[in-house]
């Protein structure tokens, strides 16, 4: 039976690149994000190029009711989902008490609550297949505190630890849980985060979403626990635990200076 993946945040950036990568490997897809037009264009492109089955589900995932609607859509259409990619997410740059509180809470809902809801709903469906996969998208910011991105970085620590704990609970089952932690990647992420002022510097180290997606999908099928694309990202994540936290935070504060 063909793999069937639900990809959240599939209209742009890393999610779109993951959709391409999965389609290339013969996977059928359900793509979700808010931008219906972009999803339609992507679905047509993938169907034309790879001749696979692609559904779209345009919706605002920061609404707590969306995961249940998404799940019901899959059940209603009898979609044999065996891969769940929890990718949709965004960041906000600025001091905690200067950024709008509701914006930060909305970000937490999308980055954390929706991943938990999706995973909870889809898990029984995933368990029915011989080989199933969950790929949760965190960030290299999951490995340290980031002043001026305090809530975002903390939300990604949640994704990493939730993924690792769930992976352990599912050990020996047919469901593998992986956590992808990209570093800076050339997508619309920085625009949405309000980080236009940091873009020029970031471009020097940014990875292409296509490269991140290729490494992510390969790692997911290899059932890796943590996937950190790019040597610099991997190295920094490995070195950080051996450095004094205060030093790490000072370096981050100078990079993300508001």
What is the binding site for ligand NAP (CB under 6 A)? Answer: 9-15, 33-35, 38, 60-62, 87-91, 110, 137, 139, 182, 184-185, 187-189, 192
Does residue 60 contact residue 36 with C-beta atoms inside 8 Å? no
**Least distance to ligand NAP from the beta carbon of 258, Å?**
18
Residue whose pair of structure tokens reads 């992510």 in the numeric block: 216
Residue nearest ligand NAP, CB atom distance: 13
Q: Is the dihedral of CA 178, 215, 9, 184 positive or negative?
A: positive
* Minimum separation from the CB atom of position 201 to ligand NAP (A): 13
Give me the least distance between CB of 173 and ligand NAP, in Å please: 25
Q: Which is nearer to ligand NAP, 14 or 74 (CB)?
A: 14
**Closest distance of CB 211 from ligand NAP, Å:** 12
In the bound state with ligand NAP, the residue whose beta carbon lies nearer, of 110 and 248, is 110
- Smallest distance from the beta carbon of 183 to ligand NAP, in angstroms? 6
Residue 89 Cβ vs ligand NAP, minimum distance, rounded to whole Å: 2
Cβ nearer to ligand NAP, comparing 174 with 211: 211
Considering beta carbons, is residue 100 or 173 the nearer one to ligand NAP? 100
Nearer to ligand NAP, 200 or 246 (CB): 200
To the nearest 10°, the Cα dihedral for 14, 15, 17, 20? 170
> Is there a contact between 85 and 115 (Cβ–Cβ < 8 Å)?
no
| 109, 200, 198, 226: CA torsion to nearest 10 | 50
| 136: three-class secondary structure by DSSP | strand
Helix or strand or coil: residue 185? Answer: strand
Tokens (6 digits) for 242: 């051996």
Q: Which two tokens stand for residue 131?
A: 């080989």
Choice between 169 and 188, CB closer to ligand NAP: 188
Contact between 165 and 214 under an 8 Å Cβ cutoff? The reply is no
């Amino acid at each position: 039976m063909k793999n069937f993946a639900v990809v959240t945040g599939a209209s742009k950036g890393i999610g779109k690149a993951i959709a391409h990568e999965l389609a290339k490997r013969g996977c059928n897809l359900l793509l979700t994000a808010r931008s219906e037009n972009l999803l339609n264009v992507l679905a047509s492109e993938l169907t034309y190029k790879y001749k696979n089955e692609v559904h779209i589900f345009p919706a605002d995932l920061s609404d707590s009711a969306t995961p249940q609607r998404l799940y019901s859509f899959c059940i209603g259409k009898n979609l044999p989902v065996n891969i769940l990619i929890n990718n949709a997410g965004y960041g906000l740059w600025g001091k905690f008490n200067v950024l709008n509180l509701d914006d930060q809470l909305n970000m937490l809902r999308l980055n954390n609550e929706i991943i938990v809801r999706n995973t909870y709903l889809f898990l029984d469906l995933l368990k029915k297949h011989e080989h199933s996969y969950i790929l949760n998208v965190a960030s290299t910011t999951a490995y340290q505190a980031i002043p001026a991105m305090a809530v975002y970085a903390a939300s990604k620590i949640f994704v990493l630890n939730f993924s690792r704990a769930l992976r352990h609970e599912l050990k020996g089952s047919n469901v593998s849980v992986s956590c992808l932690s990209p570093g800076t990647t050339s997508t619309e992420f920085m625009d949405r985060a309000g980080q236009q002022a940091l873009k020029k510097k970031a471009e020097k180290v940014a990875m292409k979403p296509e490269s991140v997606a290729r490494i992510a999908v390969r790692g997911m099928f290899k059932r890796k626990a943590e996937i950190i694309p790019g040597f610099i990202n991997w190295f920094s994540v490995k070195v950080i635990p051996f450095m004094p936290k205060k030093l790490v935070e000072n370096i981050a504060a100078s990079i993300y200076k508001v």
